[in-house]
Amino acid sequence: MREGNAPLIRREDYVAPAFWIRTVDISFDLDPAKTLVISKMKVERNTAVPHGPLRLHGEELQLLRVLINGESVSFRQEGHELVIEAAPDADFTLEVRNTCAPEKNTALSGLYTSGGSFFTQCEAEGFRRITYFLDRPDVMAVYTVTLRADKTKYPVLLSNGNLADSGELDATRHFAVWHDPFPKPSYLFALVAGDLVAREQRITTRAGRDHLLQVFVRRGDLEKTEHAMNSLVASIVWDEARFKLPLDLERFMIVGVSDFNMGAMENKGLNIFNTSALLASPATATDADFARIEAIVAHEYFHNWTGNRVTCRDWFQLSLKEGLTVFRDQEFSMDMAAAPSARAVCRIQDVRQLRAMQFPEDSGAMAHPVRPDSYVEINNFYTATVYDKGSEVVRMYQTLVGRAGFEAGMKLYFERHDGQAVTCDDFAQAIADANPGSALATRLEAFKRWYSQAGTPHLKARGTYDATAQTYTLTLSQTNPPSPGQDSKLAQVIPVAMGLLSHEGQVLPLQLQGETEPAGTDRVLVLDQSAQSFVFVNVTADPVPSLLRGFSAPVLLDDGLTDAELLVLLKHDTDAFNRWEAGQRLSLNRILAAVRSGKPLVLDGAYIEAMRSLLRHPQLDSAFKELALTLPGEAYIAEQLEVIDPQAIHAAVDAAQNQLAHALRDDWVAAFEGNQVSGGYQPDPVQSGKRSLANLALAMLVLDAKRSGDTVWPGRAYQRFKDAGNMTDRLGALSALVNAHAELAEPALARFHQQFKDEALVVDKWFALQGRAAERDGKTFARVRQLLQHPDFSLKNPNRARSLIFSLCMFNPAAFHRTDAAGYVFWADQLLALDAINPQIAGRLARVMDRWTKLAEPYRSAAREAIVRVAAKAELSSDVREIIERALA
């Protein structure tokens, strides 16, 4: 492991490498205990930078020998670098021999074993754990890979690109040679060796080229790969249609592995996936899993252009590929959803995720710009900010230049940079240059503050109506509170998509002062100063503004609207996102008022009637109703408060939930009955929308039964749990029982485990459900502690560790933040145990305490004590050390 004294790396210190590696001819004699790696490279001095030694990265390797042009050469080892002073000026060949120990690699970075097979994960800096190399993304080489291994244990041998040769070596061993014609950085290298089977499909793309698509998994999992294969085909079709980007390899492979740190990895031609992001059957996966798999398969496929063909110059540019690729997968999911209402549902879900994960990140100890300025451990920067805020930044380009303009910008980006390692500035320049005179091009430097300034801007909007002049003046202003290392900030460019409605709900035409006629009823205002006023003319009625439609910028909006105005938007807004948002705001206002006043929450009749008419609405989609009737998340609620009392927030949400359950009881019954799906299971928007609303209704009914003592609904939930024809309904019924602490929860949990004990991904759900269960009298916390001893629990498998420990610490604030501090003690213990096994996963868990300074007492002091206890450990990884030090800074 990399110890916790690693140096700070700064973006401004970037220098091009002293050498280029042009080709790599690398062979592996695969053995779990000791794998021999022989790497032969063609190396060239980079004459553009000062003359210096050749410094190769290497970690956890046994070096056997180093040859230059076939002769041994003197070298020294400096920490994690191999330094060769006497490298020639002329081009030379470099040969390195070393071994590594895959079966001891519990960090799952580099070459490791899982379930008896070999896998790699090289992003960001895993290749240096395989062999000595210039392990940085601006060094791009053409790879030829030879794999040698036992043929019965490892019948399948895969690497990037195309199979060039294969055959027998002797009675027990065989080999395969793979060649990837595209120069690539080392982080995109991959190999797989194991006893796997593949689902295969041949396709002919628009361009008329034939391709072989393969999804490799363990023997028993083949029937769970159909959805992933369909998603892959759909992704290929979509990227060709929308961005004219074709598949560039004859063969495209996906491989599933059950031990994996992230969701998946876009290695050139050989994507490696966490099984949780790949395998699905109606019996074992939920609708949400199906949707996530579709999105991740697409995401990794889209990286082939945005990430692989054009890659990052250095890791500070990570959002260049991640923000852009998340944007692309979000657009893809929306297009797949097809119907306008289903598109809105996608958008709402993405924004909910952003608010739950990225907003808290942006106001906590780890706040960083989309393009960070410094890091100690790059693995700590695969964050919601780089991914999800990065995607919002890309979306703003599209909003500013239009869809066609954005496509033209992408075209220019690839014309300029195909085959290169570039920066976020290069991307911005391409989009702007393809759209001269646009709202983006005229403000490019100011727009790029989205890359350099951390923090969520606060956007304030106030309007005044002049009935005599028939003008409406909308004043927009912005502030961005300080972030670590950034005390004051400049105005950002904020596109505000908007419309105006009358109080009766009529859509009003939008004509700005100086314009000769109205320009539609939906437009984008661009705020690029700290404050600006926009005057609308010929406004015939005092309007209700609908601002930030579709969530056109990642900001916190204060529009000062009254309940009456929010109700107008809830009923009549033509923008489905803002319609949903109006409902959320009504809920949020009530929850915040209760938390701030310390008084118990009592829902008023107007609110309840608004929620009732939503639930009963004859036209609205079930999926939309479910989102609209789900209360804002506790993390997002906490974002609105100066001081966070997690128990007070939870109590208010809990009260709102119970009152909604009770007051709308008959409507929940109708929603449950009216949203039963008949016919075969399909994870499509219509069916999944019905299931989600039926499950919410059932949860409400079981919750209300707990209060009233009724046994009918818990009984029906148990029946549904037993008889369900798919995992969505089964898990929905189970969680209704568990979250309400119904008596039938116990037998249901036991039965579920018994039924699915051989399905690892379902056992993960079983742990996660208990870790996330609504807290009541400390029962959930006690149960999680008990489950640590369960024979199926293990810290070594990241999915399993996440399912129990992260569920509690990250997603269950009421169970985690305890007045007796036991949650924090649990966190520190598990963090230290995890860090010794897998620093990347530990680094994630460490993030739970990001916002401890905002906690109310006694949580704040107790949290600090736990963090200090972790900091005092001498043997921390650089991953955890960086997070902990930033938390205490």
- Annotated catalytic sites, by residue? 300
Residue 87 or 245: which CB sits closer to ligand ARG? 245
What residues line the site for ligand ARG (CB under 6 A)?
123-124, 261-262, 264-266, 299-300, 322, 379, 382, 840
Least distance from ligand ARG to the Cβ atom of residue 272, Å? 10
Cα diameter, the chain: 95
Given a contact cutoff of 8 angstroms between Cβ atoms, the answer to whether 678 and 399 are in contact is no
Relative orientation angle of helices 605-616 and 665-674, to the nearest 10 degrees:
10
Return the one option of ligand ARG, Zn ion, none that residue 840 interacts with (CB less than 5 to 8 A, by type): ligand ARG
Return the one option of Zn ion, ligand ARG, none that residue 261 interacts with (CB less than 5 to 8 A, by type): ligand ARG
Relative orientation angle of helices 685-708 and 287-302, to the nearest 10 degrees:
140
Return the one option of ligand ARG, Zn ion, none that residue 379 interacts with (CB less than 5 to 8 A, by type): ligand ARG
Taking the C-alpha atoms of residue 340 and residue 576, their distance in angstroms, rounded to an integer, is 9
Taking the C-alpha atoms of residue 754 and residue 733, their distance in angstroms, rounded to an integer, is 17
Residue 382 or 427: which CB sits closer to ligand ARG? 382
Contacts of 434 by beta carbon, 8 Å cutoff, 6+ apart: 401, 405, 408, 409, 411, 412
Least distance from ligand ARG to the Cβ atom of residue 128, Å? 13
Residue 318 or 804: which CB sits closer to Zn ion? 318
Least distance from ligand ARG to the Cβ atom of residue 375, Å? 12
Q: Pull the structure tokens for residue 498.
A: 């908007």
H/E element, 464: strand 458-466
Taking the C-alpha atoms of residue 311 and residue 417, their distance in angstroms, rounded to an integer, is 9
Which x/- pattern over 305-344 shows residues binding Zn ion (rule: CB under 5 A)?
-----------------x--x-------------------
Residue from 883, 881, 879, 887 nearest 377 by CA: 879
Least distance from Zn ion to the Cβ atom of residue 399, Å? 22
Residue 262 or 638: which CB sits closer to ligand ARG? 262
Q: What is the DSSP letter of 317?
A: G
Task: Name the residue whose CB lies closest to ligand ARG.
Answer: 382
Provide DSSP, 324-355. HHHHHHHHHHHHHH-SHHHHHHHHHHHHHHII
Least distance from ligand ARG to the Cβ atom of residue 274, Å? 10
Q: Which residues of 463-501 are buried (b: 16+ CB within 10 A; e: fewer)?
A: beeeeeeeebbbebbbebbebeebeebebbbbbbbbbbb
264 φ, ψ (degrees, to nearest 5): -165, 175
Provide DSSP, 513-544. TT-SS---S-EEEEE-SSEEEEEE-S--S-PE
Taking the C-alpha atoms of residue 404 and residue 438, their distance in angstroms, rounded to an integer, is 12
Beta bridge partners, 144, equal 25, 179
Least distance from Zn ion to the Cβ atom of residue 325, Å? 5
Residue 126 or 632: which CB sits closer to Zn ion? 126
Residue 124 or 461: which CB sits closer to ligand ARG? 124
Q: How many residues does the chain have?
A: 889
Residue 279 or 500: which CB sits closer to ligand ARG? 279
Q: How many CB atoms lie within 10 A of CB 119?
A: 27
Least distance from ligand ARG to the Cβ atom of residue 265, Å? 5
**Could you tell me the sign of the dihedral formed by the alpha carbons of 682, 683, 688, 691, in that order?**
positive
Given a contact cutoff of 8 angstroms between Cβ atoms, the answer to whether 182 and 140 are in contact is no
Residue 120 or 770: which CB sits closer to ligand ARG? 120
Q: Is the peptide bond before 858 cis (omega within 30 degrees of 0)?
A: yes
- Report the Cα–Cα distance between both ends of the chain, in Å, rounded: 24
Return the one option of ligand ARG, Zn ion, none that residue 265 interacts with (CB less than 5 to 8 A, by type): ligand ARG
Residue 174 or 844: which CB sits closer to ligand ARG? 844
Least distance from ligand ARG to the Cβ atom of residue 266, Å? 5
Least distance from Zn ion to the Cβ atom of residue 321, Å? 7
Return the one option of Zn ion, ligand ARG, none that residue 259 interacts with (CB less than 5 to 8 A, by type): none
Return the one option of Zn ion, ligand ARG, none that residue 573 interacts with (CB less than 5 to 8 A, by type): none
Given a contact cutoff of 8 angstroms between Cβ atoms, the answer to whether 254 and 314 are in contact is no
Taking the C-alpha atoms of residue 319 and residue 353, their distance in angstroms, rounded to an integer, is 17
Q: Pull the structure tokens for residue 267.
A: 């290695």
**Interacting residues with Zn ion (CB under 5 A):** 322, 325
